[in-house]
Chains A and B, each alone.
Chain A
Amino acid sequence: MVTPSIDLPNGLLMTRLKLPPWLVLLLPAILILMAVVLIPLLLSLYSSFTSYRLTRPDSITNWIGTFNYEKAAKDENFWAAFGRTVLFLTIALNLEMLFGLGLALMVSKVTKGQRLLRTVMMFPMMFSPILVGFQFKFIFNDNVGLVNNALQSLGLSSTAIPWLVDGKLALFSIAFAEIWMSTSVFGILILAGLYAIPQDPLEAAKVDGCTSWQSFRFVTLPFLMPFIYIAMAIRSLDVARAYDMVQIMTNGGPARRTELLWTLIGRTGYVDAKMGYANAMGYISIFLAIFFTVYFFKKLTSARAELGMGG
């Protein structure tokens, strides 16, 4: 490859420092991410070893070692929130994938008005998570909400069901909102996969006498896997979007029954002003998120290689 030396706007800098062009091009991205993500994260790593409180700024120099992490490890509320977050994500992501697959299959079979359906399908994607939270807080409201109104008008329930007040029902309502918000990410990407599927193997399977289930299971599904992993990778990039929604709908309540890691961190940091402790818990949630992301990107690469699409 010919290295351009004088034509790029950064030509001067490059000839002096001899930076390779790819680095010059990537430098703004790297710098800004260092300034806004990496350095703050280092600061929060440091402060997680101190007893830093927002109300007493000088406490940031008060080094207390791994005390915050030990405290987190012994904190029942923390582990309950941690377990609930992992469980919530596992259930939500799997259901979103299944519903997304079902939705995509149904839409792909439609002959007329498919464009319109595709647009409607993307509808929830453009809602702000906070809007979704508020919308379902309204819909599940026990007094004026749509769900209770409908159930009572139809005579299916004589009393107001406390959707967001009862612990188990609240968790269900939150999961419903989360699935409503994010199923379309899977649906849209799986639909794109269905459009790209080659017809030959499907016809061959038919000739060989496969049932429609068999040809779906052994031809369509393996082909769709990379698309499912893309959707998983995209979703794992912002699983924490659920924070906005949960904060509005229940704010972790009632009595911490819907507390997820993120609401716990937010409350500890800003309401209780225990920044050091919140940062320690924040770090654990960051590792959880990065683990998910790297895992799905790895899966994506191997799924691609299997189909011979890697490069």
Chain B
Amino acid sequence: MTTDRTHRNRKRALRIAHFIGLFIAMSIICIPGLWIVLNSFRPTVEIMAKPPVWIPNELNLDHYRAMFGGNGQGGVPVLTYFRNSMVISVTSTIIALLVGMGGGYAFARYRFKGKAALFVGLMATRAVPGVALSLPLFILFARIGIIDTHFGMILAYVAMNVPFTVWLIDGFFRQVPRELAEAAEIDGCTRWQAFWRVEFPVARAGIASAGIFAFLTSWNEYALASQLTRSVYSKTMPVGLLDFTSEFTLNWGGMCALAVLMIIPALILTFLVQKHLIAGLTFGGVKG
């Protein structure tokens, strides 16, 4: 009887500990982001208040209005940055996907000499730190005259994303049984038709998630963009975030508002893709 009771008590204690642990962990994950969102709606006076104001007296859209208002009183050309970010991220993602599909298919379906070495070599190019790569790219782009252009940024981001899309897409094509395409070929399809009609549709969801991953990488990148973009012609949002800082002051509220604008698309896309992303990373890695 007593052992039964202590056993039950221990079980209950464990359950409470589990709940508390989970609660603390989730709070640490959520609070920083929520705080940013909250502050984007608060007037600057309240953000700077001493002693702090815990329960907001007033929530308004002033920071958003100032942000979209254009160049009036310290306004930042947010819409231009947003458009630059979109153009650069979407274009580089599409190109990286096409290139990655070719490469991923080659790794998944063909056997050739030096395959493993080539694969690690491709991955190693991704490991080159952005800031170290930005030095020679800056010199080179300045010479060719593509610094501060969309084209230059797209080129850089395609190269940055290709190794990763190759890795992910390779994993997805591996999950498609080889026999499927072979059967289609026996039925009279050409290899090219078999790919588009059979293998591609099966791996499509996975390829889409590789695309979203590539998009997010470009969307969030800073180290290269901060050096290769100079003006409103090509500045992306991560670089634009710095417009809210000046030597001695920081416009916290404005920064928070831009941060929210940056997070929303990322949030939606990540939510859409989460299931496939996990499968892609693990199968690409484990069954490789």
Q: Do A and B bind each other?
A: yes
Quick check: is B166 within 8 A (CB to CB) of the other chain? yes
The closest CB in chain A to the CB of B259 belongs to A131
- Interface flag for A205 (CB, 8 Å): no
A135 touches B222 (CB 8 A): no
Q: Is B66's beta carbon under 8 Å from chain A? A: no
Count chain B CB atoms within 10 A of each CB in A4, A36, A196 and give the residue with the most. A36
Partner of B103, one of A29, A124, A125, A229: A29
Which of A121, A136, A266 has the most C-beta atoms of chain B within 10 angstroms of its own C-beta? Answer: A266
Residues of B that sit less than 8 Å from A by CB: 18, 21-22, 25-26, 28-33, 35-36, 39, 47-48, 50-52, 54, 98-100, 102-103, 105-107, 109-110, 112, 118, 120, 122-137, 139-140, 155-156, 158-159, 162-164, 166, 185, 190-193, 216, 219-223, 227, 238, 241, 252, 255-256, 259, 262-263, 266-267, 269-271, 274, 278-279, 281-282, 285-288
Please report the C-alpha to C-alpha distance between residue A311 and residue B128 in the assembled complex, in whole angstroms.
28
Taken together as a complex, chains A and B put the C-alpha atoms of A117 and B134 apart, in Å, by: 38
CB atoms of A278 and B127 under 8 A apart: no
For residue B234, give the distance in angstroms from its CB to the closest CB of chain A.
16
On chain B, the residues within 8 Å of A73 by CB distance are none
Q: Which residues of B contact A297 (CB under 8 A)?
A: 120, 123
From A64-72, A74-82, A104-112, A164-172, give the one contacting chain B.
A104-112
Q: Please name the residue on chain B nearest to A31 by beta carbon.
A: B99
Whether A226 contacts B285 in the complex (CB less than 8 A), given A120-B26, A128-B262, A243-B130, comes out as: yes
Chain A contacts for B164, CB-based, 8 A: 237
Which residues on A are within 8 Å of B, measured CB to CB?
A: 1-2, 4, 7-9, 20-23, 25-29, 32-33, 35-41, 43-44, 47, 102-103, 106-107, 109-110, 117-131, 134-136, 138-139, 143-144, 146, 149, 152-153, 180, 184, 188-189, 191-193, 196, 226-227, 229-230, 233-234, 236-240, 243-244, 262, 265-266, 269-270, 275, 278-279, 282-283, 285-286, 289-290, 292-294, 297, 300, 304, 309, 311
Q: CB < 8 Å: which of B126, B136, B159, B281 contacts A32?
A: B159
Q: Verify A130–B222 contact, CB threshold 8 A.
A: yes
CB pair A28–B102 under 8 Å, yes or no, is: yes
Known: A135-B35, A309-B286. 10 other contacts (CB 8 A): A7-B191, A25-B103, A33-B162, A44-B139, A107-B22, A120-B30, A126-B263, A130-B238, A243-B223, A311-B287
Please determine whether A131 and B238 come into contact, CB atoms closer than 8 angstroms: yes
Name the residue of chain A whose CB is nearest to the CB of B252: A138
Chain A residues in 8 Å Cβ range of B155: 32, 35-36
Kindly report which residue of chain B lies nearest to residue A262, judged by CB atoms: B131
